[in-house]
Amino acid sequence: MTDKINIPANLPKTPIEEGEVCICFYLRKVARIITHIYDEKMRPLGYRATQINLLGVINQQQPVTVKALAGSTDADPTTLIRNLRVLERKDLVHLAPGEDRRERLVTITAKGQKVLAKVYPVWKAVQDQIAAQVGRERLHQLLGDLGLALEKVQKK
């Protein structure tokens, strides 16, 4: 028998079992709300938070294979390719054959780097807004806890 995770008083109960929280439900809910905040601020620039995050990861890891990028972002390779094609059409990334014909290498273009520089102040403002709303110390603790949880659930 597993220990029951009790719902904090400020969270509504889910229909799974009275008095127990669905971890997936609440993590996804918070992620959707925070993603929406980023998307709203980036919309005037023509980008979504997920696109900017992906561009940032590519910028740090380039040149990177699609397989390695999928691994580092925990993305399904098929979905990742679809998202990369959107960035490629906007001339933000370049996809090229790797050493192995089955492999694709991803690099960021000069335009992609300019976009990252352009959106950085907006991204930073959202970061600061969320940190102020949540509390910097609480947010730091939350991110640390999520990092530890990620390590535990990724181990196979």
Q: What is the pLDDT of residues 15-32, one digit of tens each?
A: 666 666 778 888 888 999
Cα–Cα distance list, 102 to 13, 63, 96 (Å): 48, 16, 11
Query: How close are the terminal C-alpha atoms of the chain, in Å?
Result: 22
Strand order in the sheet with 64-65: 64-65, 104-108, 93-97
- Enumerate residue ranges in the chain where pLDDT < 50: 1
> Taking Cα atoms as reference points, which of 107, 105, 109 lies closest to residue 68?
105
Q: Convert the pLDDT of each residue in 108-134 to its tens digit.
A: 999 999 999 999 999 999 999 999 999
Specify the fold of 48-119. Answer: Arc Repressor Mutant, subunit A (1.10.10)
What's the pLDDT at 1? Answer: 43
Whether pTM > 0.85 for this model: the answer is no
Q: Where are the domains of the chain?
A: 1-45, 48-119
What's the pLDDT at 156? Answer: 55
What's the pLDDT at 97? Answer: 87
What's the pLDDT at 56? Answer: 93
